[in-house]
Amino acid sequence: MHTVLFGKCKTYTFIVLVCLLLFTGCDFNVLENPDPKGLIPVIVTKVIDGDTAYVRFADGSEEKVRFIGVNAPEINHPTKGLEPFGPEAETFARLTLEKERIWLEFDVGERDQYDRLLAYLWLELPTDFSDAELREFQFNARLLLEGYAVQVIFEPNVKYVDYYSRYEEEARQAERGLWKVQ
């Protein structure tokens, strides 16, 4: 009798625990995949110029990141020197990104020829990666829309190339940023 009762208690205890986990919102997938979109949270530790920054990952490691799909004017290039609108692009990037938590999105190619990590930078987590969210939350897109950069294609990283072409053309037509200088 005690064995049957004890066995039933273990079964009931197990059922109660499973129900508690389900009703308290425990998501078993959280342990396997913390972000189903594949975006990686980082802190921007230092902005180098309008299209490059250092970021710190959760494990404490730091990486130099080159922003995919955009090319901002140079501020300290060994052969080009200071290009028009370079300081403005660097200031925009620094004021928007430095010391902020952002999310990195990767494409096909992970690094460039200088061993920099290549990424799209999200200021907020997107829900549907729509045109509206790109415009509002993706820093690479904002650089183009505000005229702080021109589009550059880093094959095979072409996920947003059609959007970026439109955004650059919009900035050019509206003479925003570097487009009013030229």
pLDDT at 182: 56
What fold is seen in the domain 35-181?
OB fold (Dihydrolipoamide Acetyltransferase, E2P) (2.40.50)
Q: Look at the chain and count its residues.
A: 182
Per-residue pLDDT tens over the stretch 19-64: 333 333 333 332 233 455 789 999 999 999 999 999 999 999 999 9
pLDDT at 138: 98
Structure tokens at 29: 């997938």
Distance CA 18, CA 16 (A): 6
Using alpha carbons, list the distances in angstroms from residue 178 to 50, 137, 148, 158: 12, 21, 6, 23
DSSP state of 158: -
Per-residue pLDDT tens over the stretch 91-113: 999 999 999 999 999 999 999 99
Q: Put residue 104 in one of left, alpha, beta given phi > 0 → left and psi -120 to 50 → alpha.
A: beta
pLDDT band of residue 6 (cuts 50, 70, 90) is very low
The alpha carbon of residue 86 and the mean position of all alpha carbons in its chain are separated, in whole angstroms, by: 22
Q: Say how many CA atoms lie within 13 Å of 56 toward its Cβ.
A: 11
Q: Whose structure tokens read 């061993």?
A: 115
CA angle 138, 26, 105 (to 5 degrees): 20
- Per DSSP bridges, beta strands 70-71 and 62-67 are unpaired
